[in-house]
A = this chain, B = another copy of it.
């Protein structure tokens, strides 16, 4: 490895070879310090490369390898775990400008795309062909396909339609040293060698830079969409009803659950709307069910019966406008949380049958700590987002820092999920914010294997160091940005 260059030497070399693709202005560098978690890196990256071609990505990595300088791959910057944040001494390599759709193949139900295209943009385009790409994170209007792949994004529809890993056939990847490799297949099946495609999915920019993807598409669901909105007197009962729906073999497209603290914040947000009837008066938990496909109405009727038997106050509709009204309660949850101030969004997942127990644990932790934790859950797959609200008046060691007391609450949430057979992160990834717990879940031997794989792909340790695990060149001294958004 060459001796560490001054920033000026490196940036000058990037400018020489990449010209206008290299941004060194304050605005671009400042924007790359944060993502949608609300966290801000302690410093600014030295430059942001806005690549529009594979060749520019390769050139950047060749130069970075030569100088031994860390590179943070970045898409739309909508992550919730700090995985695409750049800081002092780093280059941020954005592929947001690589957004072409290179092929849509209807017969083979696949598309070949560049990583920067947004999920929703792609799906709008695919709809003409009667197809869609199923990964459905709540951020889909603003998050990129490459980012969805890098985090193995989940979302609302996973219980029925799977996670991102099940919707990608192959990838084009630029390695740390600038080489381009193709992994995976265009065919549905293929078992030639280890599954490097699955390995790349969810690797959060630590193994290589995804510069192209062959996506597995599905025909758009047929039939009407049926929607149920149901209020329950307590969240544990609502969670039990939700678990009973899946245990009955039903597979709704969406099965979403909000607790009492969420409904209270929604009432604060919606209070000003004409005719708003307080949600909190209708119940202490809200369960949203949507079914699609040829059997959607029959499935919805079965789900309704289960909900009513469990004491839910429910309405069922197949009218799109009415359905949208029932869905809106879920859609407005994140904006409502923002009203309460700064939030640490957790992302635990538990086996479905443990949802009631996890909700009970969250209630207990909230009561014991005195911290509000409004929680929404993708109940169909056991993935919960407890939103730990930081009281504005809580003392902090320095401005913008997450108080240790909040980390302690997060720690208790994570341990409760683990005790129920669950996991630290269902869909957001580890990034910077969750790495302190990684070893608790993976164990020492698991960590050793993971670090070994990292070293195979990135022997210099220049790809997104400090994220997930790896050389801890970045201390977790992160400031919480005052701006945050409701992406997930």
Q: Which of A321-329, A345-353, A403-411 contacts B (4 or more CB under 8 A)?
A: A345-353
Considering the chains assembled together, what is the distance between the CA atoms of A356 and B435 in angstroms?
50
Considering the chains assembled together, what is the distance between the CA atoms of A449 and B426 in angstroms?
27
Q: Is A482 an interface residue (CB 8 A)?
A: no
A350: nearest chain-B partner, CB-CB = B187
A side interface size, CB within 8 A: 88
- Whether A158 contacts B219 by the Cβ 8 Å rule is no
Q: How many copies does the complex hold?
A: 2
| Contact flag A107-B353 (CB < 8 Å), given A383-B187, A426-B189 | yes
Considering the chains assembled together, what is the distance between the CA atoms of A408 and B362 in angstroms?
64
Q: Is A191 an interface residue (CB 8 A)?
A: yes
Set of chain B residues within 8 Å of A109, measured between Cβ atoms: 246, 352
Q: Is A272 an interface residue (CB 8 A)?
A: no
- Whether B298 contacts A446 by the Cβ 8 Å rule is no
- Whether B192 contacts A105 by the Cβ 8 Å rule is no
- Whether B453 contacts A349 by the Cβ 8 Å rule is no
Chain A 100-113 interface 0/1 with B at a Cβ cutoff of 8 Å (1 = within): 00000111111000
A386 to chain B, nearest CB (A): 15
Among A191, A192, A219, A430, find the residue whose CB has the most chain B CB atoms closer than 10 A.
A191
- Whether B186 contacts A427 by the Cβ 8 Å rule is no
Q: Is A130 an interface residue (CB 8 A)?
A: yes
Q: Is A198 an interface residue (CB 8 A)?
A: yes
A488 to chain B, nearest CB (A): 13
Partner of A456, one of B166, B195, B421, B452: B452
- Whether A193 contacts B450 by the Cβ 8 Å rule is yes
From 235 to 260 in chain A, residues with beta carbon under 8 angstroms from any chain B beta carbon are 243, 246-247, 249, 251
| Contact flag A351-B191 (CB < 8 Å), given A198-B165, A199-B198 | no
- Whether A191 contacts B295 by the Cβ 8 Å rule is no
From 48 to 88 in chain A, residues with beta carbon under 8 angstroms from any chain B beta carbon are none
Q: Is A486 an interface residue (CB 8 A)?
A: no
Set of chain B residues within 8 Å of A247, measured between Cβ atoms: 106-107
- Whether B352 contacts A188 by the Cβ 8 Å rule is yes
Which A residues form the contact surface with B (CB < 8 A)?
105-110, 130, 151-152, 154, 158-159, 162-163, 165-166, 175, 179, 181-183, 185-196, 198-199, 201-203, 207, 219-220, 222, 243, 246-247, 249, 251, 293-295, 298, 349-353, 378, 381-383, 421-430, 434, 438, 441-443, 445-447, 449-450, 452-457, 468-469
Q: Write 14 A-B pairs (CB below 8 A) sorted by A numbering.
A: A107-B246, A163-B189, A185-B422, A187-B382, A188-B383, A189-B383, A191-B426, A191-B430, A192-B441, A193-B442, A194-B207, A194-B450, A195-B202, A456-B456
